[in-house]
Amino acid sequence: MYSWEMLSFNIHDGFLEAIVRGNRSGLLTQADYNNLCQCETLDDIKMHLSATEYGPYLQNEPSPLHTTTIVEKCTLKLVDEYKHMLCQANEPLSTFLQYITYGHMIDNVVLIVTGTLHERDVNELLEKCHPLGMFDSIASLAVAQNMRELYRLVLVDTPLAPYFSECITSEVKTLQPLCCPFLLKWLSIPWYVMRASCLLCRIWMT
């Protein structure tokens, strides 16, 4: 049975549901995939996708195309639709949608820190970052020399800060083993956030 909450569903979520249904209608069909399998060149793929909602994202790309370009543009379409839904969402849906980006943020942090330790170019690393995990101060990761600076310069201003602050002491801001008072709160953290501190700790130790 439907609860009384359904009486106000359209007020809070009706518009967003219409957006989701519209995005669903833009997904490639089985016939589209069958036609893509018959394409012999990347330009053929571009020509077929031009008749879909991916068309505007590929129409200005010159030949010869690269596979990375097609992947990048298709991902950009997904990111644009996601950000549009996030802007239209109300609580608690907006918080849930933001949680989805945290995993990509962590992956980007690990990518930048690992690449910096191996003396990779920052711009090259930024190009490999997932668009959903980008944040304003991500480029500053390259200048951090230790975990203390990483937290103070970057993580403290991101949505990831509350999760890392529980396992970083307030005095020295270095990773420490979790103590019992933090255990219950730590268990409520999504698994990908919980694993992040361990990943970063291992990176700095190598």
Retrieve residue 108's tokens: 């980007």
- Average of per-residue pLDDT across 33-59: 88
Any idea where the domains of the chain sit in the sequence? 14-88, 93-205
Comparing 32 with 178, which gets the higher pLDDT? Answer: 32
Task: Say how far apart CA 43 and CA 32 lie, in whole Å.
Answer: 15
Nearest to 155 by CA among 113, 127, 126: 113
Task: Say how far apart CA 57 and CA 50 lie, in whole Å.
Answer: 9
Q: What is the CA radius of gyration of the chain?
A: 21
Task: Say how far apart CA 53 and CA 47 lie, in whole Å.
Answer: 12
pLDDT band at 206 (very low <50, low <70, confident <90, very high): very low
pLDDT of residue 149: 65
Sign of the CA dihedral running 83, 127, 194, 157: negative
- Is the pLDDT score of 183 beyond 60? no
Task: Say how far apart CA 46 and CA 63 lie, in whole Å.
Answer: 10
Of the listed ranges 62-66, 107-111, 117-121, the one predicted with least confidence: 117-121
pLDDT band at 153 (very low <50, low <70, confident <90, very high): low
pTM of the model: 0.66
3-state secondary structure 160-180: CHHHHHCCECCCCCCECCCCH
Task: Say how far apart CA 165 and CA 147 lie, in whole Å.
Answer: 12
